Amino acid sequence: MSNIPEVKLGIIAVSRDCFPMTLSENRRKAVAAACVKKGIPVFEAKTVVENENDAIGAVDEVIKAGCNALVVFLGNFGPETPETLIAGWFKGPVMYAAAAEDKNLMNGRGDAYCGMLNCSYNLGLRKIKAVIPEYPVGDAKDIAAMVADFVPVARALIGVAGLKIITFGPRPQDFFACNAPIKGLYDIGVEIEENSELDLLAAFKQHKDDKRIEAVAKDMAKELGSGNQYPDILPRLAQFELTLLDWAESHKGSRQYVAFANKCWPAFCSEFGFVPCYVNSRLASRGIPVACEVDIYGALSEYIGACVSNDAVTLLDINNTVPAELYTSAIKPAYKKYSLTDVFMGFHCGNTPICKLKKEKNTGLKYQLIMNRGLEGGRKPDITRGTMEGDIAPGNITFFRLHAGPDGTLQAYIAQGEVLPVATGSFGGIGVFAIPEMGRFYRHVLVAKHYPHHGGVVFGKYGKSLFTVFDYLGVVDIAHNQPKGVLYKTENPF
C-alpha cells in the first residue's frame, strides 16, 4: 500500500538505580527476541536508562536508527522522571509496558508492576500522551503480543501526524452530512487544503492528451476484466486519475500523506462527462482514500482505517433496511443470532475497491442509477457512467467514524460486525451488514449523537486498534454498540 507509513520500532529499557541494571537489560533482550519471533523487527537501544543523561542518549540512539515508534520497557521499577521524559522528547507514538516477575523473588525481583503506577502518574503530570495496553505487565511473550497490537496503532498515529486532506468542493446543496468544522483537524495535527471544483476541472483539462493515459487505461481494463462494460470512457477516467495523483504529489507540501474529499455530483457529471467512483475506488485500494461528497471527516476516517488495517477500505452510507421478506427467507434461517433490526444495507454509488466486491458476473463498471434518473431522465447512460458496482464480499468488518459534531467537538463510534453472504438484489457497491444490537446502536448513538449517514468500513475486526487510536488522539466520546441488557444513557428503561 502506498501512502501508508512504515513503522520502524525501537525499544528502550529503563531501570531504577537501586535495582540491577542487568535485570532490565536481559528482560529487554528477551522481549526483542520474542518480537522477532512474531515477525516484528525492533531496534534495541543499547543504553539502559537510569537518569536524564541516559534518556538523552537512548532517544538519540533510536532517532539515529530511524525509529518512528517506540516502546519504553520497565524491566524493573524504573526511574519516573527520565522514563517519562523519553516520550516527551521522542517525536512519535510511544507505548509503555512493564515486566512481570520471574521465579527469583530475592535478587531477581524488579517491582515493575509497582513502577508502572508511578510512570502513569508522571505521564499525567506532564500531560504526555502514551499508549498503555489494557494490562501492561507481562513476560517477554506477553509484551511481544502488546507490541503486535501497538504496531497498527502506531502506523495510524504516524499517518495522522503527517496527513493533509485535500478537498474539492463545496459540499452538495442541502447536504449537511458533510459539514466539517475544521478546528478538530488542527486539534489532532491534520492539515487541510480546500479547493474549488473549478480548480479540479482546470487541472483535468490540463491533462488532456497526457502520454500516460493509455497505460493507465490499459491497467483499468486489466483490472475490470469481463466487468469492463464501458471501455470507451476508460481514457477519461485515466485522465482523471492522473489529475488527482499529480495534484496530490504537487500539493503535499510539508506532509507525507494525503487523502481527498471531493465533490462528485451534480455538476461534476455534466462538466467532466462521467462519475468518479471507479477512480476513487482505485485510489482507495492504494491507501489514498477519496471520500465522496466532500466528506472531510469521512476521508480522515478512511485514512485511519487504511493505516490500522494496512488494507483497502471504503466509505458507505448506512443506507436502507433489509426487507422483511429477504430477512425471513435468506437471513433468519442461517443467522438466528441476528434480528431484523440487527441488519441493514451499507451502500454507496460505486467507490468500494473491486478487491472488496464479490467476484460475480454483475460486478463491474456501471452507471449511477439515481443520477441517471435525475440528470439523463432515465435514458441511455452517458455522463453518469463510471461507478464500480457489485455486492460487497462477505466477512468481518468494523463500521466506524471519527467526526466533529455540531459544536465542533471530536467524537467517534466503533461497531464490529460482518457482511453476510446474502444477495442484495440492488445496485451500487452494496452489502447486507449485520451488527449485534444495531437497532439500539442506530437510535442511541447514530441518531442521538447526531452522526451523519457516512461511515468508514474496515474489512476485519479492528475495533481494539481504532479505540486506542481515538483515545490517543484525545477523543473523549467513543461510542460502541452496547450488548443486550446494557442500557445507553438515553435509552428508555421502560
CATH number at residue 94: 3.40.50.10940
Instruction: Confirm whether 189 is domain-assigned.
Output: yes
Residue 357 sits in the same domain as residue 284: yes
Residue 375 sits in the same domain as residue 447: yes
Q: For residues 453-477, give the mean pLDDT.
A: 98
How many other C-beta atoms are found inside a 10 Å radius of the C-beta of residue 175?
Answer: 15
Percent of the chain with pLDDT over 70: 100
What grid cell was written down for 402? 471519527
Q: What is the DSSP string of 327-390?
A: IIIIITTT-TT--GGGEEEEEESS-S-GGGB---TT-EEEE-HHHHHHHHTTSS-STTEEEEEE
Q: What CA–CA distance (Å, rounded) separates 74 from 484?
A: 39
- The confidence band for 458, taking pLDDT boundaries of 50, 70 and 90, is very high
Instruction: Confirm whether 60 is domain-assigned.
Output: yes
Residue 82 sits in the same domain as residue 167: no
Instruction: Confirm whether 2 is domain-assigned.
Output: no
pLDDT of residue 460 exceeding 70, the answer is yes
Instruction: Confirm whether 1 is domain-assigned.
Output: no
In this structure, what is the dihedral angle of CA atoms 434, 133, 127, 449, given to the nearest 10 degrees?
Answer: 10
pLDDT of residue 177 exceeding 70, the answer is no
Structurally, the chain folds into a number of domains equal to: 2
pTM over 0.95: yes
Instruction: Confirm whether 401 is domain-assigned.
Output: yes
Residue that terminates a domain, selected from 160, 184, 216: 160
Residue 206 sits in the same domain as residue 267: yes
Residue 196 sits in the same domain as residue 64: no
Asked if 318 and 441 touch (Cβ cutoff 8 Å), the reply is no
**CA 155-160-164 angle, 5° bins:** 135
Q: For residues 66-72, give the mean pLDDT.
A: 98
Residue 86 sits in the same domain as residue 190: no
Looking at residue 6, its pLDDT comes to: 97
Asked if 399 and 417 touch (Cβ cutoff 8 Å), the reply is yes
**pLDDT, tens digit, 9 for 90 and up, residues 332-366:** 999 999 999 999 999 999 999 999 999 999 999 99
Which residue range is the domain that position 357 belongs to?
A: 162-480
Looking at residue 124, its pLDDT comes to: 97
**What mean pLDDT value characterizes the chain?**
96
Residue 168 sits in the same domain as residue 108: no
How many other C-beta atoms are found inside a 10 Å radius of the C-beta of residue 335?
Answer: 18
Instruction: Confirm whether 491 is domain-assigned.
Output: no
Residue 149 sits in the same domain as residue 226: no
**Alpha helical stretches, state H, 112-139:** 112-126
Looking at residue 421, its pLDDT comes to: 98
Residue 240 sits in the same domain as residue 323: yes
Q: How far is CA 161 from CA 48, 156, 181, 190, 468, in A?
A: 28, 9, 19, 6, 15
Residue that terminates a domain, selected from 137, 160, 183: 160
Give 171 or 26, the one with higher predicted confidence. 26
- The confidence band for 170, taking pLDDT boundaries of 50, 70 and 90, is confident
Residue 146 sits in the same domain as residue 167: no
Q: For residues 405-422, give the mean pLDDT.
A: 95
Residue 174 sits in the same domain as residue 87: no
Q: For residues 1-21, give the mean pLDDT.
A: 95
pLDDT of residue 209 exceeding 80, the answer is yes
Asked if 165 and 321 touch (Cβ cutoff 8 Å), the reply is no
Residue that terminates a domain, selected from 117, 137, 160: 160
Q: How far is CA 219 from CA 142, 229, 240, 356, 476, in A?
A: 45, 15, 14, 18, 44
Instruction: Confirm whether 396 is domain-assigned.
Output: yes
Instruction: Confirm whether 309 is domain-assigned.
Output: yes
pLDDT of residue 175 exceeding 80, the answer is no
Residue 108 sits in the same domain as residue 219: no
**pLDDT, tens digit, 9 for 90 and up, residues 434-444:** 999 999 999 99
Looking at residue 406, its pLDDT comes to: 83
